[in-house]
Protein backbone atom coordinates (compact mmCIF):
# COMPACT_ATOMS: atom_id res chain seq x y z
CA UNK A 1 0.00 0.00 0.00
CA UNK A 2 1.35 3.42 -0.94
CA UNK A 3 1.94 5.96 1.80
CA UNK A 4 -0.12 9.12 1.58
CA UNK A 5 1.95 11.37 3.84
CA UNK A 6 3.45 13.31 0.94
CA UNK A 7 4.79 12.75 -2.52
CA UNK A 8 8.38 11.72 -3.13
CA UNK A 9 10.47 12.34 -6.23
CA UNK A 10 12.87 9.73 -7.59
CA UNK A 11 16.19 10.59 -9.16
CA UNK A 12 17.20 8.36 -12.06
CA UNK A 13 19.65 6.38 -9.91
CA UNK A 14 16.74 5.02 -7.86
CA UNK A 15 15.07 3.62 -10.98
CA UNK A 16 18.39 2.36 -12.32
CA UNK A 17 19.04 0.38 -9.13
CA UNK A 18 15.54 -1.09 -9.37
CA UNK A 19 16.64 -2.72 -12.66
CA UNK A 20 20.20 -3.60 -11.62
CA UNK A 21 21.02 -7.12 -10.50
CA UNK A 22 24.60 -6.27 -9.50
CA UNK A 23 23.65 -4.71 -6.13
CA UNK A 24 20.68 -6.64 -4.71
CA UNK A 25 20.59 -4.62 -1.47
CA UNK A 26 20.20 -1.35 -3.33
CA UNK A 27 17.75 -2.98 -5.74
CA UNK A 28 15.52 -3.99 -2.82
CA UNK A 29 15.67 -0.51 -1.26
CA UNK A 30 14.84 1.13 -4.60
CA UNK A 31 11.92 -1.20 -5.26
CA UNK A 32 10.56 -0.65 -1.75
CA UNK A 33 10.70 3.13 -2.20
CA UNK A 34 8.72 2.82 -5.43
CA UNK A 35 6.08 0.46 -4.06
CA UNK A 36 5.62 2.10 -0.65
CA UNK A 37 5.37 5.76 -1.69
CA UNK A 38 3.36 8.12 -3.83
CA UNK A 39 6.33 8.60 -6.15
CA UNK A 40 6.95 10.95 -9.06
CA UNK A 41 9.48 10.84 -11.88
CA UNK A 42 10.14 13.25 -14.73
CA UNK A 43 10.74 12.93 -18.44
CA UNK A 44 14.42 13.62 -17.70
CA UNK A 45 14.55 10.66 -15.31
CA UNK A 46 13.10 8.40 -18.01
CA UNK A 47 15.65 9.66 -20.53
CA UNK A 48 18.54 8.99 -18.14
CA UNK A 49 17.14 5.55 -17.29
CA UNK A 50 16.87 4.64 -20.97
CA UNK A 51 20.42 5.78 -21.68
CA UNK A 52 21.81 3.74 -18.76
CA UNK A 53 19.89 0.50 -19.28
CA UNK A 54 20.66 0.38 -23.01
CA UNK A 55 24.30 1.36 -22.64
CA UNK A 56 25.37 -0.19 -19.33
CA UNK A 57 22.89 -3.07 -18.89
CA UNK A 58 22.68 -3.90 -22.61
CA UNK A 59 18.86 -3.74 -22.68
CA UNK A 60 17.42 -3.87 -26.17
CA UNK A 61 15.35 -0.82 -27.09
CA UNK A 62 12.11 -2.85 -26.87
CA UNK A 63 13.15 -3.92 -23.34
CA UNK A 64 13.99 -0.30 -22.48
CA UNK A 65 10.56 0.75 -23.78
CA UNK A 66 8.95 -1.86 -21.52
CA UNK A 67 10.92 -0.49 -18.55
CA UNK A 68 9.70 3.03 -19.40
CA UNK A 69 6.10 1.83 -19.50
CA UNK A 70 6.55 0.00 -16.20
CA UNK A 71 8.02 3.13 -14.58
CA UNK A 72 5.14 5.26 -15.83
CA UNK A 73 2.67 2.72 -14.47
CA UNK A 74 4.35 2.66 -11.03
CA UNK A 75 5.05 6.40 -10.67
CA UNK A 76 3.39 9.67 -11.60
CA UNK A 77 5.08 11.38 -14.54
CA UNK A 78 6.04 15.06 -14.57
CA UNK A 79 6.71 16.62 -17.97
CA UNK A 80 9.39 19.29 -17.78
CA UNK A 81 8.30 22.67 -19.13
CA UNK A 82 9.77 26.12 -19.68
CA UNK A 83 8.98 26.96 -16.05
CA UNK A 84 10.80 23.83 -14.87
CA UNK A 85 13.91 24.86 -16.79
CA UNK A 86 13.81 28.49 -15.65
CA UNK A 87 13.44 27.41 -12.02
CA UNK A 88 16.34 24.96 -12.53
CA UNK A 89 18.52 27.91 -13.52
CA UNK A 90 17.59 29.67 -10.27
CA UNK A 91 18.32 26.56 -8.22
CA UNK A 92 21.69 26.01 -9.91
CA UNK A 93 22.66 29.61 -9.21
CA UNK A 94 21.37 29.66 -5.64
CA UNK A 95 22.47 26.23 -4.42
CA UNK A 96 25.39 25.40 -6.71
CA UNK A 97 23.99 22.16 -8.14
CA UNK A 98 24.71 21.18 -11.73
CA UNK A 99 22.01 22.21 -14.20
CA UNK A 100 20.78 18.64 -14.63
CA UNK A 101 20.54 18.02 -10.87
CA UNK A 102 18.77 21.37 -10.58
CA UNK A 103 16.29 20.24 -13.22
CA UNK A 104 15.44 17.18 -11.08
CA UNK A 105 15.04 19.41 -8.00
CA UNK A 106 12.89 21.87 -9.95
CA UNK A 107 10.56 19.10 -11.11
CA UNK A 108 10.28 17.78 -7.55
CA UNK A 109 9.34 21.25 -6.28
CA UNK A 110 6.76 21.72 -9.04
CA UNK A 111 5.15 18.43 -8.00
CA UNK A 112 5.03 19.54 -4.35
CA UNK A 113 7.17 16.60 -3.28
CA UNK A 114 8.51 16.63 0.26
CA UNK A 115 11.40 14.24 -0.39
CA UNK A 116 13.79 13.75 -3.29
CA UNK A 117 15.49 10.36 -3.16
CA UNK A 118 18.93 10.52 -4.76
CA UNK A 119 22.24 8.81 -4.24
CA UNK A 120 24.14 11.59 -6.04
CA UNK A 121 23.07 14.77 -4.28
CA UNK A 122 23.89 16.13 -0.83
CA UNK A 123 22.13 13.98 1.78
CA UNK A 124 19.75 15.80 4.13
CA UNK A 125 19.97 19.11 2.27
CA UNK A 126 16.77 21.16 2.22
CA UNK A 127 15.70 23.18 -0.80
CA UNK A 128 13.49 26.25 -0.40
CA UNK A 129 12.45 24.90 3.01
CA UNK A 130 10.10 22.54 1.15
CA UNK A 131 12.13 19.62 -0.18
CA UNK A 132 14.54 17.28 1.62
CA UNK A 133 17.16 15.42 -0.38
CA UNK A 134 17.65 11.94 1.07
CA UNK A 135 20.15 9.25 0.11
CA UNK A 136 18.25 6.05 0.95
CA UNK A 137 21.37 3.89 0.67
CA UNK A 138 23.22 5.36 3.66
- pLDDT per residue over 34-53, tens digit each? 999 999 999 999 999 999 99
Looking at the domain assignment, is residue 42 inside a domain? Answer: yes
Total domains in the chain come to: 1
Distance, in Å, from the CA atom of 103 to the CA atom of 97, rounded to the nearest integer, reads 9
Judging by beta carbons within 10 Å of its beta carbon (0-12, 13-18, 19+), is residue 33 exposed, middle or buried? Answer: buried
The pLDDT of residue 1: 42
Looking at the domain assignment, is residue 119 inside a domain? Answer: yes
Helix (H) or strand (E) holding 122: none
Strands 131-134 and 125-127: antiparallel
Give yes or no for a contact between 128 and 109, defined as CB atoms under 8 angstroms apart: yes
The pLDDT of residue 5: 63
Strands 76-78 and 131-134: unpaired
Looking at the domain assignment, is residue 2 inside a domain? Answer: no
pLDDT < 50: residue spans in the chain: 1-4
Looking at the domain assignment, is residue 1 inside a domain? Answer: no
Give yes or no for a contact between 46 and 64, defined as CB atoms under 8 angstroms apart: no
Looking at the domain assignment, is residue 61 inside a domain? Answer: yes
Distance, in Å, from the CA atom of 99 to the CA atom of 104, rounded to the nearest integer, reads 9
The pLDDT of residue 4: 47
Q: Which of 122, 98, 105 is nearest to 9 (CA)?
A: 105
Tens digit of each residue's pLDDT (9 = 90 or more) over 62-75 = 999 999 999 999 99
What residue numbers bound the domain in which 39 lies?
Answer: 7-134
CATH code for position 55: 3.40.50.1010
Question: Which residues, other chains included, contact 92 with Cβ-Cβ below 8 Å and sequence gap of 6+?
Answer: 98, 99, 101, 102
Amino acid sequence: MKQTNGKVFLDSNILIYSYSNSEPGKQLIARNIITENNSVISTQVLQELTNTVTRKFQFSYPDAANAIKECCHNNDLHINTEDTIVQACRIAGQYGFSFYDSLIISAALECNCITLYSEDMQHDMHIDERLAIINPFL
